Amino acid sequence: MVETILVTGGTGLVGKAIEHISNNYEYKFVFLSSGDGDLTKFYETDLVFTLYEPTYVIHLAACVGGLFKNMAQPVNMFEKNMLINMNVLRCCHKYNVRKVISCLSTCIFPDRTTYPINENMLHNGAPHDSNSGYAYAKRMLEVQSRMYCKQYNVSYVCVIPTNIYGPHDNFSLTDGHVIPSLIHKCYTAKQNDEDFIVLGTGKPLRQFIYSHDLAELLMWTLNSYNDIEPIILSVSEDQEQSIECVSKMIAKEYDYEDRIVFDNSYSDGQYKKTADNSKLTQLHGQYNFTSLDKGIKETIEWFNTNYNRVRK
């Protein structure tokens, strides 16, 4: 009998990336969308689990947004994510799901810390105030997963990817994450013959992971990672890039490099979140990550081709 993997948030950025590689694995995949049930409501979440009876769950569903959404709506970011995570893990336990992989974020790490950050430093201080609502909800997902492991001897694992980008992202100019928002902004600026305005100084540093790479690493985690402690899924520290560099890569693809303007009247948010991927390297071995310029090129090609139907 073929085992079923239920992917919450299955029509989002990472869900679509898993779908892209799903034929490489001998599982039945079910990719949930928000239309299949409201995961903030236990009754609807329970109906989904009753219908599909999954063997495994890859939990990606979340209320997400970029820096300015996190700053403007901390209550929504906290409460909606708490409800989603609580309901999903309760149902995983109720329906005897064999293994759960839940996706966190590096924004949950302490603001005041030493770098690079590793998995043991997760709760060593408050996260950056700019995304505290989302960050604390995600921290509680790690706590809740650990409590289930402790009380019921189950395998509920949390992974911590760095900044994800790729096809099927949310390219919203207001609520999207940095790369998709900048792609949309540069596209629009060129269409309107306007400056490509990047909010902030461009100096903050980030590690970016292409969604298709993350999808493969999530499947490796499901099949091969047997520890109950979280694991960082990330490119190495030496592949960290500034927002300025990313903006120039995007502008280059649109042949619009001479029109970039950095508006330093806006907040930069957290300067850096450098993550240590040595645990991944030790257990998995060296992974051949997609280079940032190649990933951006492929993402822009997908965005341009699908402009009329992308989330924006």
Catalytic residues: 134
> Who contacts 80 (Cβ-Cβ below 8 Å, separation ≥6)?
40, 63
Angle at 299 between CA 284 and CA 233, to 5 degrees: 20
The tokens of 25 are what?
A: 């694995």
Q: Which uninterrupted H or E stretch holds 65?
A: none
> Who contacts 158 (Cβ-Cβ below 8 Å, separation ≥6)?
101, 102, 103, 104, 141, 142, 145, 230, 231
**Mode of pairing for the β-strands spanning 205-206 and 241-242:** antiparallel
| Burial class of 167 by CB neighbour count within 10 A (0 to 12, 13 to 18, 19+) | buried
| φ, ψ (nearest 5 deg) of residue 24 | -85, -5
